[in-house]
Structure 1
Amino acid sequence: MYSYRTISVIPELPESIHRLKELARNLWFSWHPEAELLFSRMDAVLWEEVNHNPVKFLLYIEGDKLQKAAVDPEYLETYNRVMSDLDTYMQGQTWYQRTYPEQTDQLVAYFSAEFGVHESNPVYSGGLGLLAGDHCKSASDLGLPFVGVGILYKQGYFCQRVNREGWQEAHYSFMDFNEMTVTPATHPDGGHVIITVRLPGRDVFVKVWQLQVGRVVIYFLDTDLAQNSREDRLLTSKLYGGDQDTRICQEIILGIGGVKALRQLGISPTAWHINEGHAAFIILERIREWVQGGLSLPTALEAVRASTIFTTHTPVPAGHDVFSADMIDRYLGYLYEEVKTDRDGFMALAGIRGAKDLT
């Protein structure tokens, strides 16, 4: 079982460069080369050793190198320019605000199993994650009202190595979230945001983390909590790992848990964007909300359909998970009554023709 009582503390920085802490917690630096230089110029070797992770870099850099940078006129000139650029970026008027001033209260929630924003947060495997990460960066640059929702995998995706015999070996790393750019999402009183997701025979506790990507925030879900059983703590361990039961649990956590997390945070999206089918269960949770709020199932379907966007990165059957009816009974059977339909009606939601027939 993973260590739970791990604490990392960033040392006090010299006053003249104290905002490096702030810069380290915003991945804006990752697509602004001059901002990256503020770290690599102090210790290029360490910057490579920590995989360009600025939080970990500030934990391990030698104090004399910080002091040297703090009095270097050339370094300070770059530092002041970068921080001025960051302030302008974060506080200035955006393209979206200028173009659509009457729609600034609109919000897109973008759900994805992967977010490839930067190598220091390795919770992605390839193209799908990089696409999601680029969406976040572009949304930030344009000033779109946009949040992401994903899973914070403790071991991420495997790194491939080839052994002496020429065989591929998969190696997983253990990530200490306290040494990453993520921070716990909190309530106004400072308490951590923790939700519960219903799985067969128990409720699983899910902690919400957040990652600042310029103006955009990505919220990540994590079950590695002491309140959960060992098995449930491992549910968010690996991207695309485990058997069918693990995969459906992950997709319930992402979809249903993601909706609950946004509700806890007081976030009410106008549009819900599903990037690939891994987050498709957000549809069920939103239907449940509408029906429990008094709408009929057909009306709830129309309301959800009108505000849902779906994009696919892999438009072939092999790129999508398929779960048997027996698994749906086991994991989601409690929803039949909550959306006021029977088993056949619920199963029909999975088919285009069946869902249309219900309306």
Structure 2
Amino acid sequence: MKVQIPDFPDLPDRIGRLKGFVYNLWWSWNGDARRLLRSLNPVLWDRTGHNAVRVLRETEPARMRRCADDPEFVALYDHVMARFDAYVGSRDSWYSNTFAAGDNRQIAYLCAEFAVHGSLPIYSGGLGVLAGDTCKEASDLGLPFVAIGSLYPEGYFRQAIDADGHQLAFYDRFSTTDAPILQVLTDEGARFLVPVPIGNREVKVAVWKTQAGRVPIYLMDTNIEENEPWDRDLSARLYGGDQQVRLRQEIILGIGGIRVLRALGCLPTVFHLNEGHASFAALELIREHIRYGMSLDEATENARNKMVFTTHTPVKAGHDEFPFYMMEEYFRWYWEELRISREDFLRLGQTPDGNSFSMTILALKTTGRTNSVSQKHGVVSREMWHFLWPERKIEEVPIVSITNGVHLPTWLAARFQSM
């Protein structure tokens, strides 16, 4: 598989590496790199919200030539490129210094949203900010790490108030041409498409790639002409639509995410589900193992040993639940492939009232390790999910506490970083 970097015909050869550089968001947490990009066109940099791709695309050719002839700009350019090369090519990292050479582990990180930079507006709040910071920190540590989520070209909306005081939402679809993402292609140059089963039909998924330093982030996109109109909109908006749309989105994220990773040739040894939206990934791993000849118990245990789950909220509305009839509509064929009954399948995510299928319960039952996001949240979570382990004391419920951190180079002002 490959990506094709667009041509920027007005970019002088002397600073020609910028055309690939702007698609790696490493620049967003490196002060010298941001200074370099801003100096190309300060007015445009501010007007576009620090969108490096647009700055490169929209800056006048004469301005580009002046920058390429400016010794101060060229010196900064050479300095930034040298630092970038040293960073992405370094074999000296926490991971390489901690684990033996030849270690073949890889972490796959599945999440509904990623906040890496504002020029890629596919996030809504704290979950995405944590995911973006996790990818950046994984890059800094040199972890063998790959992330996968969905592309939401209508990720943000503009708010207005009508004459009666009601909120109106106007969604602006961002242009993939202006975003720091590149479409994944086959080796022959065709679009890279992966079929994902949704009920009794298949939806084709195209894949885009952005890069956070050393970490690739793959984003799935259903808005292609091969799909029906109602399926094309599945990847339009984050957390949009009704329960049917949400369920189909989470099938794409979980089952589609695993299938895209496989099609890309990734063989992760650990799968990290950042919140319950991606929980169907566990079912896909179990299904894979059964196809390879394992029994259900063996397949479930094998998948469990590879999976980590982070739960984020004690608020009930933050835990997706779907009625059984909806699960039957989309998963009847699936439990047949798992070789289990309808009842056993639904029991994997059954809520205490027996009426719904919970994505969080599915994750808690099928992953080997679960963490909350703070000490207090751990206490609340162990109480909240105690019913799944009634034979244990509350403090023995297997949910540990790992307090959320931040990626310091992103959030710490330059003056403090230099102290």
TM-score (norm 2): 0.80
Among 29, 40, 43, the residue aligned to 1:42: 40
- Show CA shifts across 1:146-190 (max 9, x none): 010100012113244556876543232112212211111233333
CA distance in 2, matches of 1:322, 1:350: 9
CA distance in 2, matches of 1:12, 1:256: 42
- Larger deviation, residues 95-104 vs 326-335: 95-104
Report if the CA contact (8 A) 2:296-2:338 is conserved: yes
Q: Name the aligned partner's letter for residue 62 of structure 2.
A: D
CA distance in 1, matches of 2:7, 2:74: 24
- Show CA shifts across 1:10-60 (max 9, x none): 324112111111211100000002101122112111112222121122111
- Larger deviation, residues 186-195 vs 68-77: 186-195
- Larger deviation, residues 150-159 vs 255-264: 150-159
**In structure 1, what is the equivalent of residue 74 of structure 2?**
76
- Larger deviation, residues 190-199 vs 214-223: 190-199
Equivalent position SS for 1:124: coil
Q: Name the aligned partner's letter for residue 211 of structure 1.
A: T
TM-superposed CA distance for 1:104, in Å, is 3.4
Unaligned runs of 5+ in 1: 1-6
**In structure 2, what is the equivalent of residue 3 of structure 1?**
none
Cα RMSD (Å): 2.1
Report if the CA contact (8 A) 1:104-1:145 is conserved: no
- Larger deviation, residues 346-355 vs 314-323: 346-355
**In structure 1, what is the equivalent of residue 51 of structure 2?**
53
Equivalent position SS for 2:321: coil
**In structure 2, what is the equivalent of residue 96 of structure 1?**
95
**In structure 2, what is the equivalent of residue 4 of structure 1?**
none
Q: Name the aligned partner's letter for residue 72 of structure 1.
A: D
Distance 1:161 1:106, change over 3 A: farther
Equivalent position SS for 2:224: coil
Q: Is 1:342 aligned to 2:341, yes or no?
A: yes
Distance 1:8 1:103, change over 3 A: closer
- Larger deviation, residues 102-111 vs 27-36: 102-111
- Larger deviation, residues 55-64 vs 166-175: 166-175
Q: Name the aligned partner's letter for residue 133 of structure 1.
A: G
CA distance in 2, matches of 1:206, 1:324: 26
Identity %: 44
**In structure 2, what is the equivalent of residue 290 of structure 1?**
289
Q: Name the aligned partner's letter for residue 139 of structure 1.
A: A
CA distance in 1, matches of 2:7, 2:47: 19
**In structure 1, what is the equivalent of residue 358 of structure 2?**
none
Equivalent position SS for 1:41: helix
Q: Name the aligned partner's letter for residue 292 of structure 1.
A: R
Report if the CA contact (8 A) 1:197-1:204 is conserved: yes
CA distance in 2, matches of 1:104, 1:55: 36
- Show CA shifts across 1:47-76 (max 9, x none): 122221211221111111101100111111
Aligned pairs, how many?
A: 351
TM-superposed CA distance for 1:125, in Å, is 0.5
Q: Is 1:65 aligned to 2:63, yes or no?
A: yes
Report if the CA contact (8 A) 1:251-1:278 is conserved: yes
Unaligned runs of 5+ in 2: 351-360, 367-387, 389-419
Report if the CA contact (8 A) 1:11-1:58 is conserved: no
Q: Name the aligned partner's letter for residue 29 of structure 1.
A: W
Distance 1:14 1:8, change over 3 A: closer
Distance 1:125 1:263, change over 3 A: same
TM-superposed CA distance for 1:8, in Å, is 7.0
